[in-house]
């Protein structure tokens, strides 16, 4: 039985990905001699990871990496608080909590940033987990949540909008639900074991009952 719905943040709960992609692609084209289309593809295929890990994976040991990472994080923090939640995010989370589901956010964005964003937007969840070195989205976060709320993997679902989200959930035996946006249903289906997908968070209000039926 599902007891905890865990949500990714960027691109799933908050409509931030177009802006973050714009920042990242500009920095990648400026610093690594990439064409825009190639930069977009590289960024998208590594989304779900902390940005510093994306850069180190894509451009190992390049001398400009730390400059790019620092500039991205600077611009992100300058802009993210002005970006909106998805229109149905707050109502869906309230519905789930009112029906005795736990709701957590698990993200590769720094935790303090998510906490401040949620405070400003009036969004309340049962747990916020963000990125810190040695503690990141995936096994670290799921282990924390299972211990805190005394849950098994079978009692948790993870909703995310990236292929890396899918890989990390499945790597911890957590049921994954894709949020279609950056990636298509077909792209998720190529790696998703569950083949479950939604186009908006409000669809969770019916899906959780189907999963618990």
CA distances from 157 to 32, 104, 168 (A): 37, 10, 12
- Looking at residue 58, what is its pLDDT? 97
Confidence tier at 207 by pLDDT (50, 70, 90):
very high
Domain ranges of the chain: 4-15+85-211, 17-82
Q: 11: Cβ–Cβ under 8 A, 6 or more apart, which residues?
A: 17, 47, 160, 161, 162, 179, 181, 182
Confidence tier at 12 by pLDDT (50, 70, 90):
very high
**Phi–psi pair at 64, nearest 5 degrees:** -85, 0
Domain 4-15+85-211 fold:
Rossmann fold (3.40.50)
CA distances from 143 to 93, 138, 147, 150, 208 (A): 22, 9, 6, 10, 22
Q: What are the pLDDT digits (tens) for 169-187?
A: 999 999 999 999 999 999 9
**Mean pLDDT rounded to a whole number for the chain:** 97
């Amino acid at each position: 039985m599902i007891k905890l719905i865990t949500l990714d943040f960027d691109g799933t709960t908050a409509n931030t990905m177009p802006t973050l992609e714009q920042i990242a692609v500009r920095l990648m084209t400026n610093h690594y001699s990439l064409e825009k289309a190639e930069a977009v593809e590289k960024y998208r295929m590594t989304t779900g990871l902390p940005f510093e890990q994306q850069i180190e994976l894509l451009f190992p040991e390049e001398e400009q990496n730390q400059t790019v990472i620092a500039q991205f994080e600077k611009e992100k923090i300058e802009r993210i608080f002005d970006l909106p939640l998805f229109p149905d995010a707050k109502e869906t989370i309230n519905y789930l909590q009112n029906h005795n589901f736990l709701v957590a956010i698990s993200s590769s964005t720094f935790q303090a940033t998510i906490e401040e964003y949620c405070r400003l937007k009036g969004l309340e969840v049962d747990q916020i987990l963000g990125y810190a070195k040695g503690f990141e989205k995936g096994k670290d976060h799921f282990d924390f949540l299972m211990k805190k709320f005394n849950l098994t993997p079978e009692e948790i679902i993870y909703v995310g909008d990236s292929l890396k989200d899918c890989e990390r959930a499945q790597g911890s035996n957590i049921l994954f639900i894709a949020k279609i946006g950056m990636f298509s249903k077909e792209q998720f289906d190529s790696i998703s074991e569950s083949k479950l997908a939604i186009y908006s968070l409000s669809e969770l209000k019916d899906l959780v009952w189907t999963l618990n039926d």
